[in-house]
Amino acid sequence: MSDRRVLVEGVAVSPDHLIGGARVSSPTTFEDRSPLDWSWKLADVARGDASTATTAVDAAVAAFPAWAAAGVAERGACLHRLADLIDAHTDHIAAVETVDMGMLLESMRLRLVARGAINFRTYADLAAAHEERRWSSKGTANTVQRMPAGPAVIITPWNAPFMLSTWKVAPALAAGNTVVLKPAEWSPLSCSLLADLTVEAGFPPGVFNLVQGIGEEVGAALVSDPRVRRISFTGSPETARHIGRAAADNIVPFTAELGGKGPLVVFADADLDAAAAKAAVMYDDSGQVCLAGTRLLVEASVRDEFVARFRAAVDRHVLGDSRDAATTIAPMIHPDHVERVLGFVERAVAAGDEVVFGSHRVGDTLHVEPTLIEPAGNDSEVVQREVFGPVLTLQTFADEDEAIAMANSTAYGLSAIVYTGSTERAERVGRALRAGVVWVNTFLVRDLTAPFGGIGLSGIGREGGDYALDFHSDLKTLQIAEGTTT
């Protein structure tokens, strides 16, 4: 048992694992630094290894039978208490994640932490409202039962770690599974606060476990453990391939929410001011948003009008410290990621793509200017691969068919955004686009009961609503012959 809490923005945060209800350290650590000031070391975080993974899965296995047997009402009460505690600790969680990940403080407080609480309430209520399907056929009374599946491993990425982790942890716990969560090593601290709150909310020890460490080390060990019955992953396609192999070896169901290269399609009949303003939002969080519409596809007849409005909206952005209310663009997460993003820009220029604006790093900060590139062709790397930074591309199309073809022309299919003034076109184009979600004349509006996931390189499986509860359950058909008597 250890407790080497550190103060981050005045909040005491444990840099250790939470296993079986107790804080546990590791012989080695890794440094966690702040994107707001890279010289600012936040914590030496426990670097879990294969033995940490085994101990965490041991705890999840031990806690599973009682949690599964507890039933939806008892589990739901725990989830609701956790949601209330998240609300009560909003300022602490937001403050810590802002300096750890870089996300704008106001956005954290108003949007992402609040969504964490909503995630737990939503899944507690959905699990409670579930009615088993019952019907008679072929002389039998049939019931479809959701049985908790077992320990679930949840692996999350560095962008929006608190919101994304709660989005995945909530359905697993509500369905009766126990959880081992491994957040990303670049932003590990807000999930440690979540771990504290699970203890305070009265979750039995071992129901929720947190393991810190490097993906290729403790992450790989967790997903390889044959006792794990579900793997839920959000991150890059490269990592999904590794995890998918481990899931295949153990025949374990696996969902993967992966990257995106979403189009933002602007038709000439659209409200161009609204479209341009929304396009400028794609630079928020320095473009480190999987759902962002990073390929601007604009009807050729309004290209210049759109670009002028877009440029004006982008010019209103303020790059700065994420805690400052005036800042609208947060810094990027890590110097390595800045280099990766600048590499895309350099290769684009070398290949003949044209930089319309931006493309430079800002001083010695982790900011890269909002950047717009007009590619030489649709096969340019910067059009086809996810950059995950403040880099958008601009292309034009002649008509609706070409717009749809261009929008559907990458290997990804997570999200798509369309701006049009025509309801008929909204319906037609919306149906023709290949993406897990299509927003028309809006962006990021989420109904948590709707399916959420990607097509192609953007992922496998669906989260959201009953889709996630079904994933975390073993569905069983019980058939009892009619006329069976005691």
Determine the 3-state secondary structure of 21 from DSSP.
Answer: coil
- Which structure tokens are listed for 406? 């261009």
For the bound state, the minimum distance from the C-beta of residue 144 to ligand NAD, rounded and expressed in Å, comes to: 28
CB–CB of 16/2 below 8 Å?
yes
For the bound state, the minimum distance from the C-beta of residue 336 to ligand NAD, rounded and expressed in Å, comes to: 10
Beta strands in 349-390 (DSSP E): 354-357, 371-374
Tell me: does residue 53 bind ligand NAD (CB under 6 A): no
CB nearer to ligand NAD: give 159 or 420: 159
Tell me: does residue 385 bind ligand NAD (CB under 6 A): no
By CB under 6 A, name the one of 20, 151, 260, 413 that touches ligand NAD.
260
**257 given a catalytic annotation:** yes
CB nearer to ligand NAD: give 100 or 257: 257
**191 given a catalytic annotation:** no
Tell me: does residue 196 bind ligand NAD (CB under 6 A): no
* Residues whose CB falls within 8 Å of the CB of residue 427, separated by 6 or more in sequence, listed in order: none
By CB under 6 A, name the one of 76, 219, 262, 389 that touches ligand NAD.
219
**Interface segment toward ligand NAD; rule CB under 6 A; list 37-45, 47-55, 254-262, 307-315:** 254-262
Length of the chain: 486
Determine how β-strand 11-13 pairs with β-strand 6-8: antiparallel
CA distances from 77 to 125, 371, 464 (A): 10, 47, 20
**Interface segment toward ligand NAD; rule CB under 6 A; list 137-145, 196-204, 215-223, 354-362:** 215-223
The interaxial angle of helices 50-88 and 90-101, nearest 10 deg, is 130
Determine the 3-state secondary structure of 395 from DSSP.
Answer: strand
For the bound state, the minimum distance from the C-beta of residue 476 to ligand NAD, rounded and expressed in Å, comes to: 29
Using the 8-state DSSP alphabet, how is residue 331 labeled?
P
CB nearer to ligand NAD: give 238 or 424: 238
- Which structure tokens are listed for 330? 């947060």
Considering the candidates 257, 299, 369, 386, report the single residue annotated as catalytic. Answer: 257
Distance CA 435, CA 433 (A): 6
Tell me: does residue 236 bind ligand NAD (CB under 6 A): yes
Residues 152-181 contacting ligand NAD, CB under 6 A: 155-159, 164
Distance CA 100, CA 103 (A): 8
By CB under 6 A, name the one of 118, 258, 341, 345 that touches ligand NAD.
258
Tell me: does residue 299 bind ligand NAD (CB under 6 A): no
For the bound state, the minimum distance from the C-beta of residue 202 to ligand NAD, rounded and expressed in Å, comes to: 27
For the bound state, the minimum distance from the C-beta of residue 360 to ligand NAD, rounded and expressed in Å, comes to: 23
CB nearer to ligand NAD: give 34 or 234: 234
Element (H, E) at 273: helix 272-281
Residues 437-456 contacting ligand NAD, CB under 6 A: 454
Considering the candidates 290, 369, 386, 463, report the single residue annotated as catalytic. Answer: 290
Determine the 3-state secondary structure of 388 from DSSP.
Answer: coil
The amino acid occupying position 318 is: V
By CB under 6 A, name the one of 100, 196, 225, 257 that touches ligand NAD.
257
The interaxial angle of helices 50-88 and 189-200, nearest 10 deg, is 70
Contacts with ligand NAD: how many residues (CB under 6 A)?
A: 30
3-state SS, 193-207, equals: HHHHHHHHCCCCCCC
Determine how β-strand 293-299 pairs with β-strand 473-481: unpaired
Closest residue (Cβ) to ligand NAD?
A: 215
Tell me: does residue 54 bind ligand NAD (CB under 6 A): no
Per-residue contact flags (x/-) with ligand NAD for residues 276 to 295, judged by CB under 6 A: --------------x-----
CB nearer to ligand NAD: give 72 or 101: 101
Residues 176-195 contacting ligand NAD, CB under 6 A: 182, 184-185
SS3 content of the chain, % helix, strand, coil (to 5): 40, 25, 35
Tell me: does residue 327 bind ligand NAD (CB under 6 A): no
Distance CA 183, CA 190 (A): 9
- Which structure tokens are listed for 433? 């686009």
Tell me: does residue 35 bind ligand NAD (CB under 6 A): no
Indicate the Cα dihedral angle 167, 111, 120, 87, nearest 10°: 140
By CB under 6 A, name the one of 235, 390, 413, 464 that touches ligand NAD.
235
The amino acid occupying position 371 is: T
Binding site for ligand NAD (CB under 6 A): 155-159, 164, 182, 184-185, 215-216, 219-220, 223, 234-236, 239, 242-243, 257-260, 290, 386, 388, 414, 454, 459
Q: Which residues are catalytic?
A: 257, 290
